[in-house]
Chain A
Amino acid sequence: MAVREAEPVGSFSEVREAGLDREDLLAIYRHLLVTRGIEERGHILYKQGKIPGSFYTGRGNEGAAVGVATAMGPDDVGTPLHRDMGVHVQRGVEPWKIFAQYMGREDGPTRGRDGNVHMADAKLGMIAMVSHLPAMLPVAVGCALAFRIREERRVAVGWFGEGSAARGDAHEAMNLAGVRRLPVVFVCDNNQFAYSTPSHLGYAIEHLADRAAAYGFEGVVVDGTDVLAVYREAKAAIEKAREGGGPTLLELKTLRMEGHAVHDDAFYVPKELFEEWAQRDPIERFRSWLLENADLAREEEDEIATRVKKILNDALTRAEDSPQPDPATLLDGVYATPEDLDTPHHK
């Protein structure tokens, strides 16, 4: 089973065939802008000293994240990572809660218990990541196992990066999923650098998606800066899983356009590489596509930009008003109570 390299998306008719109408396309554009906006504003907050700890962004990965999330069904679940803010945005997390999370406030999804993108809203089908990066892949496989046991037509999406692909969790998860043909899609955000370590020191094959064959399922390499190609391939993989066709490994190739975290100036990434990939900025690329293929009008573009700006401004104000967590509540929730089982997942 050879790995397949996905073609770019061409015309609007091709997109329509993949299930998106013009409204959907504009929503994708908005989600991309909100995603980048949240991270740009977050970076400013960090420099202002308003965000404790460190700060991570997914610049360059917005199209990959939003593309996959758009392909997921409402009852599907996923485990997005720290370059996948676009998944949370697309699933409907309110941006003010993300800023509150960044700042460690009471209204963030983790109520100050954890920071940055270590968050998720269970009501939106998301499961919060941990720092040990491929650790969420076996969890995604377990979600898929539950769906399979109960014979539900739901799919789990598990994210990892090319760096974390070196760890055993990734292997164990894909192997179990392959053996049991579980409804799970593995998404590798391949941004070419694991902190400072380039891909060629992380794995010795051409594409990480080549590994899928070893687990008995299909691997697909996609240009992660092409949001529509990502959507099309994710949609196909998710629906295949839903129909009982088993897992797929999608490798979404991008370049991490900033350092590992904002303290890191990424001096080890060749300047030419940044210049090359800057030409393929996922948002600029999609905007051009919309202008050429979907008659995006200047007024429409301005209207979206204005709306996004207002969303972000309002979100920041609201987040800054969110209280600090109360130290008296520190021990709350170390252990769950039976009432805690009354959650969307557990019903």
Chain B
Amino acid sequence: MAEKTYLQAISDGLRQELQRDERVFVIGEDVGVYGGAFKVTLGFQEEFGPWRIIDSPLAETAILGACSGAAMMGMRPVAEMQFADFISCGWDHLVTVAAKQRFRVGTPVPIVVRLPSGGGFSGGPFHSQNPESSFAHIPGLKCVCPATPEDAKGLLVAAIEDPNPVLFFEHKHLYRRIKGEVPDERYVTPIGKARTHREGDDITVITWGAMVYTAEEAAKQLEGDDVSVEVIDLRTVMPWDKAAVLASVRKCSKVLVLHEDTRTGGFGGEIAATIAEEAFEDLDAPVKRVCAPDCPVPFSPVLEKAYIPQVEDVVKGLRELAAY
């Protein structure tokens, strides 16, 4: 066990899978010689060669389509989109081919698509998005959004083992900022199981990705108000751990759903609707959402701060719920 950054944990997990399973290969833009835009695959090409760490042309549909074909031939491809935003260029392939092939003809498509996502450093409208909700809406795809280094490694291993197309959203703002203990050996963190990031009794915050830390900070501030806040890290949004969410809701009776994606059609709406349907009697206040507004991600640091939910936005929401 050693302390590692979130980025190092992803890199180590991927390297271990490449070492133990020769069916695993990596394809993406600049993943080889350059080691990836964020250096997740730094040194991989020297270790595994140019036919397992494949520098592709700038062509997301070709990358994802080739992954599906190779997966159908028994490989375990791991694609890197240089930024999660660029998956729009491969949307058709994922949604039309990869997501539906098992249902239509019984052919599984075990691919992993790594998606450096999220904002917080002036990436602007095309290098900052969190498109997980769009894909959670597509039956046949799985969406994974780890928040800790330990989960990042364990969920990546689970994603590679999974017989379905798995979108692995790795939050760029966590890459080098978040460190944690990560086991050296191989382990699998199951897809579809939430994690209690912080225990509490009065209000539960349901969130994932970088917002886990925003929620944690806000929860600390609420200690001063003598309000105990639980933080549930969903870890995967499709499938999502409905049982864990409902259990926490029943315990705390008040809920705040927090995500960095935009509000309308964001996955928080699905969570709120499910709570309304299945735990209405347990609620002591309306479900509250704190999300980005319905707006593209802006470039200017001032505007971006107004866009991404901040600790004070969550604190405000929690205080309103506490007072209800």
User: Counting CB contacts under 8 A, is A214 at the interface?
Assistant: no
In the complex formed, the residue of B with least CB distance to A158 is B69
Q: Taking each of B61, B102, B109, which has the highest tally of chain A beta carbons within 10 Å of its own beta carbon?
A: B61
| B100 pairs with A146, CB closer than 8 A | no
Within 8 Å of chain A (Cβ to Cβ): is B75?
yes
CB distance from B141 to the nearest CB of A (A): 9
Bound together, the chains give a CA A227 to CA B52 distance in angstroms of: 39
State whether B65 touches A139 (Cβ < 8 A).
yes
User: Count of A residues near B, CB < 8 Å?
Assistant: 49
Inter-subunit contact B65/A135 (CB<8 Å):
yes
List which A152-205 residues lie within 8 A (CB) of chain B: 156, 168-169, 172-173, 175-176, 179
Inter-chain contact B62/A141, CB cutoff 8 Å: yes
Given A135-B92, A144-B69, A341-B110, do A120 and B163 touch, yes or no (CB 8 Å)? no
The answer to the question of B262 belonging to the interface, with a C-beta cut-off of 8 Å to chain A, is no
B64 interface hit (Cβ, 8 Å): yes
Closest CB of chain B to A132's CB: distance in Å?
5
Q: Is A48 an interface residue (CB 8 A)?
A: no
B53 to chain A, nearest CB (A): 11
Q: Please report the total number of B residues contacting A with Cβ < 8 Å.
A: 43
Inter-chain CA distance A125–B163, complex, in Å, is: 20
User: A114 — nearest CB in chain B belongs to which residue?
Assistant: B104
- Bound complex: CA A207 to CA B61 (Å): 25
| A132-B92, A176-B56 known; A138+B110 contact, CB < 8 A | no
Task: Indicate with 1 or 0, residue by residue over B28-69, a CB within 8 angstroms of chain A CB atoms.
Answer: 000000000000000000000001101011010110111111
Q: Is the CB of A146 within 8 A of B75?
A: yes
Q: How far is the CA of A145 from the CA of B73 in the complex (A)?
A: 9
Neighbouring A residues of B106 by C-beta, 8 Å: 122, 333, 340, 343
Q: How far apart sit A199 and B142, CA to CA, in the bound complex (Å)?
A: 40
Q: Which of A324-347 contact B (CB under 8 A)?
A: 333-338, 340-341, 343, 345-347
Among candidates A141, A149, A173, A337, residue contacting B163 with C-beta atoms closer than 8 Å: A337
Q: Which residues of B contact A (CB under 8 A)?
A: 25, 51-52, 54, 56-57, 59, 61-62, 64-75, 77, 92-93, 96-97, 100-110, 139-140, 142, 161, 163-164
**Chain A interfacial positions (CB closer than 8 Å to B):** 77, 109-110, 113-114, 118-120, 122, 127-128, 130-132, 135-149, 156, 168-169, 172-173, 175-176, 179, 333-338, 340-341, 343, 345-347
